Homo-oligomer: A and B are copies of this chain.
Amino acid sequence: MPHTFVRLFFVFIATVSVFAQSLPSEKVLMGFSAASSAKQKALEAKFDAGLKKENLREWMKRLSARPHYVGSPYGKENAEFMLALFKSWGYDAKIEQFDVLFPTPKTRVLEMTAPEKFTARLEEPDLKEDATSNQKNEQLPTYNAYSADGDVTGDAVYVNYGVPADYEELAKRGISVKGKIAIARYGGSWRGIKPKVAAENGAIACLIYSDPRDDGYFQGDVYPQGAYRNEHGVQRGSVADMPVFPGDPTTPGVGSIKGVKRLDYKDAKTVMKIPVMPISYADALPILRNLGGAVAPASWRGALPITYHLGGANAVKVHFKLAFNWDIKPIYNVIATMRGAELPDQWIVRGNHHDAWVNGADDPISGLVAEMEEARVIGELAKTGWRPKRTIVYAAWDGEEPGLLGSTEWAETHRAELKNKVAVYINSDSNGRGFLGVGGSHTLEKFINEVGRNIADPQTKMTVWERSRAQQIVSGSASARKETMERADLRIAPLGSGSDYTPFLQHLGIASLNIGFGGEDGGGSYHSIYDSFDHFTRFGDPNFDYGIALAKVCGHATLRLADADVLPFEFVNFADTVNQYVAEVVRLADAMRDETAMTNQLISSGMLVAVQDPTQKYVVPKTEKAVPNLDFKPLQNALTRLKESAGKYQTASGNTQMSASARKSLDEILLKSERFLTTDAGLPRRDWFKHQIYAPGFYTGYGVKTLPGVREAIEQRDWTEAARQIKIAAETIENFAAEIDRAAALAQTK
């Protein structure tokens, strides 16, 4: 999986002078004294000078030379190759193995038997323009991992993106997927949501196809002429129900180490309950073209040259058969440690996965090679006498694609130690040409803004920070633009899921960042055999300039976090962000109240039914209970407290007179501060997710829900739950504020 691409938002000083080059920045770095700051900048300059983009190219070529999915021979070779490199760079490196459930298909049949006969191809053709596309023997076939086995025949129904709102539209037209096969298009949610919601609605199977509107010729020229998905391209991917928990479905909450008690896969909660398979638009077209029934709503229509119908009305008979090898496979995390000279029990962990669905040049190798180059140069620096104050851990995760397996099993196995020691986790995944994107904990927002302000953009005369800011100003809405121009820092995005930060941030409560460049690397190679060295070096980041930029951003962040006199957390930006989230959930409830009242009125007055075309079937929705006035006071009071505490720490921090031991005590509070944003009980329906501010959406998948307990209760119209969650969130924020108060008190001591 790649990072969900997010953009930094940025502030504006209304003069041309901001574009003048002023690298490195003159001011004292967060968490450093003037003296240590100067030293750190000198170190960063050496670091930058050491980075070599030829390494990125060479390693990408090597690591993406053959398919390297979970359990593949080349995956293991890659791990061993990296292990040797980390060792050669002076790291204490090892491979940590886990054994995980990893199903691979043994039977895949998709055919239409009526009204015409058609057998789906289910295969991506090799191309002479793509050197690795012909490695048929080693490629995983096109499939969704953790689909159920099945052999079903039924009518097809087109369900758009297959999210809950789509089923409400179908219901208004009197269409149900019960006993039928749902055909959904990729997009609009994480893929695993589609079969889950289809199954909740009674579908017996689900097909997911890439519509050329979202992922094909509508977007740009198709491969190999251009970068976009061609008619036979297929997006592989996991459909494990990761919003419930990621990692091995058969070992929920515990590491899949030798001898662990393991569920039967049939009892595993996150294994999909119906068969599901991804298909190309060439394979989807004959089915979609034959669907009868009502014409799909305008926003549901894709770019195939047909009238999109919903189906369910005529006899489109689809036969769909899937069977899997439900194997336990080894995965190999590469863990490389450089022990801190002064504070060895304070860890900065930096990670990127190494497994891919096929060759994975972009996903994940483009991010991985940047991480490797960071590690190499830091290794070189360490050979010249410098040592980090804190411990740096470089990780290359295996098994991210099927379900964040490597990172999750590692986090679950080492839970106690990690909660005790890890200050920050920095993740990357895919990377490409374009704009800096950062998501993460807002306690690190100011810090990562500072880092970004100091890195030159490879294509312009700006810093990467300035270019992202310009992008936000140029393309933002009037209000977003105004904020960007007035705010000191660019906003970073909250994290949902989709890459290896999830177990750290949302399960262990470790402050995390997810960093990558993109936006000028458009294409459609994602999770296909065309995610290759040939594709990436034409369309991704041909010169690896943005690979180097990523190495700089993540390398500087890692080095600063490792070397700072005091960990550079900051809480005013965090409080400002939570303030936004609280305002959002209040508005959400208000909007639902107005909308519910209006819809109920339109239903009961008969207006809704009167405006429907009487020649078309229409089922009037039921009225909803009125939305009560929720008491948001506890949350608003907690917010007030949080702002005060954040202000106090801001005033107190920057004290350069502190003793080493006071600094260490302060660090220990800061290091664990994010833990206080979690609760042991976790979120309703999914207690693996402990974080009360950020979570992937139960019905969006990757998409983040901030204040998830409160927000999802409102969305689900569970008002009792919403009231309870408001209290829990308020309490959590109060506890967090108390820790900030402790930090502020300590920061004033000598």
Contact = CB atoms under 8 A, between A and B. Distances in A.
Contacts of A301: 218
Contact of A305 (B305, B605, B610): B305
Interface string A587-621: 00000000000100110111110110111000000
Nearest to A469: B607
A303 B218 CA distance: 8
Contacts of A608: 470, 474
Interface string A325-344: 00000000000000000000
Contacts of A480: none
A467 interface: yes
A21 to B, nearest CB: 13
A475 B301 CA distance: 20
22 contacts: A14-B605, A15-B605, A16-B605, A16-B606, A18-B605, A19-B606, A219-B307, A220-B295, A220-B307, A221-B295, A222-B307, A303-B303, A303-B305, A304-B305, A459-B614, A467-B611, A470-B611, A474-B602, A474-B608, A474-B611, A475-B611, A520-B613
Interface string A208-239: 00001000011111100010100000000000
Nearest to A15: B605
Nearest to A458: B614
A720 interface: no
Nearest to A228: B307
A722 interface: no
A724 to B, nearest CB: 31
Given A462-B610, A607-B470, A611-B467, A14 B220 contact: no
Interface string A264-308: 000000000000000000000000000000010000010111110
Interface of A: 14-16, 18-19, 212, 217-222, 226, 228, 295, 301, 303-307, 435, 459-460, 462, 466-467, 470-471, 473-475, 481, 520, 598, 601-602, 604-608, 610-611, 613-615
A332 B15 CA distance: 68
Nearest to A14: B601
B307 A226 contact: yes
B307 A218 contact: yes
Contacts of A481: 598
A212 B302 CA distance: 12
Contacts of A459: 614
Given A467-B611, A520-B615, 9 more contacts: A16-B606, A217-B307, A219-B307, A220-B307, A435-B611, A460-B610, A470-B607, A470-B610, A481-B598
Contact of A604 (B16, B305, B307, B473): B16
Contacts of A15: 605
Contacts of A475: 611
A474 B598 CA distance: 9
A160 B598 CA distance: 39
**4 nearest A-B pairs in the assembled complex, by CB-CB distance:** A470-B607, A305-B305, A471-B611, A217-B307
A19 B605 contact: yes
A187 to B, nearest CB: 14
A655 to B, nearest CB: 38
Nearest to A231: B305
Contacts of A226: 307
Contacts of A613: 520
A217 B475 CA distance: 32
Contacts of A471: 611
A73 to B, nearest CB: 38
Contact of A460 (B212, B221, B462, B614): B614
Contacts of A295: 220-221
A459 B216 CA distance: 43
A324 to B, nearest CB: 34
Nearest to A217: B307
Nearest to A462: B610
A349 B222 CA distance: 59
A217 B611 contact: no
A480 to B, nearest CB: 13
Nearest to A471: B611
A14 B301 CA distance: 36
A660 B524 CA distance: 79
Contacts of A222: 307
A252 B19 CA distance: 58
A601 B19 CA distance: 13
Contacts of A604: 16
